[in-house]
Structure 1
Amino acid sequence: MAIDRATWRKCERIVGRLSIPAPFDSDLFISALAEQRGRIVELVPMPGGATQCGALIATDDADYIFYATSTTRLHQEHILLHEVGHLLCGHIGDAKLESLPKLLLPNLSGDLVRRVLGRTDYSGAEEQEAELVASMIARRARRRLAGSVAPELADGLARVGSIFDTR
C-alpha cells in the first residue's frame, strides 16, 4: 500500500510538534509527550510470552503504552514509537478490555478503561500511519544525533547498542 501525500504531510506535522531527545531516550521522550498532551503517558513492560508486541490503552486520566520486553532495545523502542503513532494519530477503537490478557491489566478495572487499541483493531491505513510516525520519530532522533557523528556511524551505533542492551 503506497503512502499518499496527505498522509505523509499529516504524519510530518504530528512529528514536527514533538520534542525528541537525541540520543533517543524513551523515558525522556514519554515525559515530554505527557507534558505536551497534558496527561499521564505511562510505559508498561509486558513480560515474555505475551502474544502482542504492543498495545495502547487510553483511560479518562492516562494513556498506557504496553510493550514487549522479550526483544531488543531497538525493537522495544520501535514498538513504543508505533503505539505513540496510534495515540497521536487519534486511532481510538472500541474494543473491550477483555480482549487483552488479564496479565497486562492487573491494576485497571474494566470500568476505568474507555478505549483499548490492539493490533487487530486497526485498519491498514491506521497501521500505515502509526508505522510512518514511528519511522519519522526514529529518523529525527538519528539525524539530531548525527549532528555530532557521521550518519552511518550513528545508525551503526544504534544497531549495535540494541543488540547488547536488554533493558
Structure 2
Amino acid sequence: MSSLRRLRKQLVEDLDGFPIPQPFSIPALIRAMEGQLDRRILLRPMPPELTAPGSACGLRVKMANGASLVLFPLRSTQYHQEHVILHELVHEWFDHGGTISPVEFQRMTPHVGTNLIRRFTRDIPIAARTTYESEQELATEVCANIIRDLAARQNRATDDLVGRLEASLSHPFARRKRRKNQ
C-alpha cells in the first residue's frame, strides 16, 4: 500500500466523529463544529490586500474571546473557496498549532501596513500557510479532500428521486474490469 493510501486510511479513522451534516453545506458544518467544540467559528472573506500572489490562501485566527476567525479568498472559484475553508476547519477541529510571528505575517501580507499588523497580531495566535511542505499541512489537505468526498457520498445516498438521479448521472459507468490475461 502506498504511503499516501496509508495516510488517507489513517486520516479517515482520525476524522471519525467529524460532524458532516446532511445535506452538506459549509454553514451547517460550522454550526455542527461549534456545537461539538463549544466555541464560535466566524467565517469571513479575506480583505483583498491579503490575497496577493504568494500570500496565504486562508487564515485561521484564534481570538482572545475564545472564538476562531476563518478567512478565505473571495476572488476565487466556489470550489477553491470551499476547499480553503475546509482546510482551515480541519486545523480548527484538530486544534493544530502553527502560530506565526508578526514578521512572518508581514512577509505573507506585504500590502498590509506594519502598524496594522502589529496591532492585529499583538496577542492573537494566527495560523497561516503558503506551502504544504509539512506533514501536518499534507494531512490537513488530505482531510479536506476526505471531508468533501464523504459529504458528496452522503448527499448522493438520499433515496429521493433527485438524489438517485444525481448519483446515476455523477457516475454513469462502472469501472472497467480488467481481463485476467492482461
TM-score of the superposed pair, with normalisation by structure 2: 0.69
Counterpart residue number, 2:84: 79
Give the aligned partner of residue 147 of structure 2: 137
Query: Any unmatched runs of 5+ in structure 1?
Result: 156-167
Q: 1:63-87 CA distances to partner (integer Å, 9 max, x unpaired)?
A: 1111001112111111101111222
Q: Could you say which structure has the greater relative contact order, defined with CA pairs below 8 angstroms and 6 or more residues apart?
A: 1
Contact map agreement 1:65 1:80 (CA 8 A) in 2: yes
Q: Percent identity?
A: 25
For residue 152 of structure 1, report the CA deviation from its aligned partner. 5.8
SS for the counterpart of 1:44 is strand
Give the superposition deviation at 1:116: 1.2
CA shift in 2, pair 1:97/1:28, >3 Å: farther
Q: CA deviation at 1:92?
A: 0.5
User: For the structure 1 residues 42 and 153, does the alpha-carbon distance in structure 2 shift closer, same or farther, using more than 3 Å as the test?
Assistant: farther
Of 40-49 and 24-33, the range deviating more from structure 2: 40-49
Which residue of the partner structure matches residue 31 of structure 1? 31
Please tell me whether the aligned partners of residues 145 and 154 of structure 1 are also in contact (alpha carbons under 8 angstroms): no
| 1:16 aligned counterpart, secondary structure | coil
Partner residue in 2 for 1:158: none
| Structure in which a larger fraction of residues adopt strand | 1
State the aligned residue count. 151
Question: 1:77-135 CA distances to partner (integer Å, 9 max, x unpaired)?
Answer: 111011112222332023124615448x89x743441x211114865201111111101
Shift of 1:56: 1.2
Match for residue 93 of structure 1?
A: 98
What's the secondary structure of 2:137's corresponding residue? helix
Q: What is residue 121 of structure 2 aligned with on the other side?
A: 110
